[in-house]
A and B are shown apart, each in its own frame.
Chain A
Amino acid sequence: MVHQLRIGSRLIEEDVVTIATVDLGYIERAREGKFDLGWLRDSHAEWGIRARPSRVGLTLRDIAVGSYGEVPDHPPKRTMAPRGCDVDPDVPDMGYSINDKAEVWSDNVMELYEEAVSRQWSATRDIEWTELPELDADLEHAMCQLATVLSEVEMVAADFPAKWLWRINHDFVEAKMFLCTQVMDEARHTEVFRKRALAGGGGLGKAKAVVEQFLKVILDAQSYDEGSALMHLLAEGLVLSLFRAGELLSPSPVEKKIFRLCMQDEARHVAYGTMHLRYRLEREPALAPDFHAYLDRGEEIIAALFATPEVVEPTAILAAGSLKAAEEMGVGVSDILRTRMIEEYLARCDRAGLPRRGRMRLPEIILAGTSGGAEACVEGVAS
């Protein structure tokens, strides 16, 4: 039944529940013990299908039993009803736009959710902030600039899944739940690097337009496909490598622990992104050219980061121990880091079923020593 409703200044016409549509007589009947019991009588629930806990407790994998474990490729409805329950035929359409399982699924998503929940940590409690040593000014500046960049980029990895979460069909609830853990992880990453910048007295450094431009590309992605490839596979893969470098270059055990804990979270996000893309392409191989196009664009922008002083120089100074030493040594560490980042990214692209070796279109000065460019393949670096 369609009703006109006034909500504040808005007049809406919707097929919604209002007090006029409620069977008030039911309240009276229920008082007298005349129950309806339709919910019990007409149930198709799998009575007797019992989920058993495994060693670490009752996991999502443990409850994927009977029909409850079957995730439809194309759900028949767009509803928030828990998958596998009896659904009222009159449920409203939630308007989800991601209704194909392959658009968000990955075979490891249940395990990654459990792992994420189990491996949460607190930037307030688990970092020994009182043990942060007084650093030389060069090192404190460098650490704070690195922390500024990281605090800046981390939140997009919360904003992006959050932007798409409500559009994802509820039958893919495990994937939605995993993305929720990512939102929490990234909030904590933003938090811990902001705290690091402020805890040592150096304060926040500089945010560069080039960094913001890349974040905007992710946020403005026209599809989850595009954004996930850019973020989960490309950007977070590079951030994971950066966290590894951060752990090595950190001036004290306090930062080392920060980077190790962030590294763990980031590797989960990358594991989802890689295996999600694989799942997607296995089912729709014709999408490969689209994904290559997304990554062509993303790589070009992210390559600019390798020529951004606010990103390159802090790591060089942390590696050398001082600005003077870094000026004498150059950015050798950054070169190792760049090579590492690109090779790890290429290996994940291979795993995802989207080989990018030999087809990265970046300047030689960035691809040197990697198997990303066409020349590298000819010379056999890719092997």
Chain B
Amino acid sequence: MIAVVAATGFPSAEWFASLSAHATSDPERLRTLGVADFRLAVEIVDTDGKVRTFGVIFDGYDITSAGEFSDPEVFGSEATLTGPIEAWQAMVANITEHGAADGLHTLNALSIADTPLKVVADDPMGRDKFFRYAETLQTLFDASGLVALART
């Protein structure tokens, strides 16, 4: 399944753009979830320690990918969700397999003990936005399966 994830181009700016596009393809669903206002950085640490950072912007009912950043400061994230690439790949693979994250692979489940993923923020209010928009964030990442479908 990890190979399937790799075939989808994860992680890349294109993958996150596709994720956002799929997640917002049903505007009514996002309207039902309600407005959000959040700049989330997604940090993926490769096996060689190299860090890649992607930005996602939640604005009202919209979710847009802000691409990849060499300097995360430029993006001005309110919180960063960080973890090793294996954990991210396992999450995407799980979602691809089940259509949505199973109980052990939701964003909250993966980050609650700070491992394998961790929510990092200078400001606890930024960190708490990770919980304030939990359902919207999960809806975004549950679209991972649709990215895989579109690419394979």
Contact = CB atoms under 8 A, between A and B. Distances in A.
A244 B113 CA distance: 10
Interface stretch (B49-57, B82-90, B101-109): B101-109
B128 A247 contact: no
Given A55-B60, A250-B103, A260-B134, A118 B34 contact: yes
Interface stretch (B6-14, B119-127, B143-151): B119-127
Contacts, number: 85
Given A244-B108, A245-B112, A247-B109, A271 B132 contact: yes
User: For the complex, would chain A's binding face be called helix, strand, loop or mixed by DSSP majority?
Assistant: helix
A115 B34 contact: yes
A71 interface: no
Given A56-B61, A264-B133, A271 B125 contact: yes
B108 A351 contact: no
A120 interface: yes
A344 interface: yes
B129 interface: yes
Contact of B132 (A250, A264, A347): A264
Given A340-B112, A347-B124, A348-B124, A247 B132 contact: no
B32 to A, nearest CB: 8
Given A256-B103, A336-B113, A114 B35 contact: yes
Contacts of B113: 336, 340
A336 B113 CA distance: 7
A347 B37 CA distance: 21
B132 A111 contact: no
Nearest to B138: A260
A347 B34 contact: no
Contacts of B133: 264
Given A264-B133, A264-B134, A274-B124, A247 B106 contact: yes
Interface string A243-257: 111011010110011
Chain B CB within 10 Å, residue with most, of A119, A271, A350: A119
B135 A264 contact: yes
14 contacts: A55-B60, A55-B62, A115-B34, A119-B34, A244-B108, A245-B112, A247-B112, A252-B103, A263-B131, A264-B133, A275-B125, A340-B112, A344-B127, A350-B124
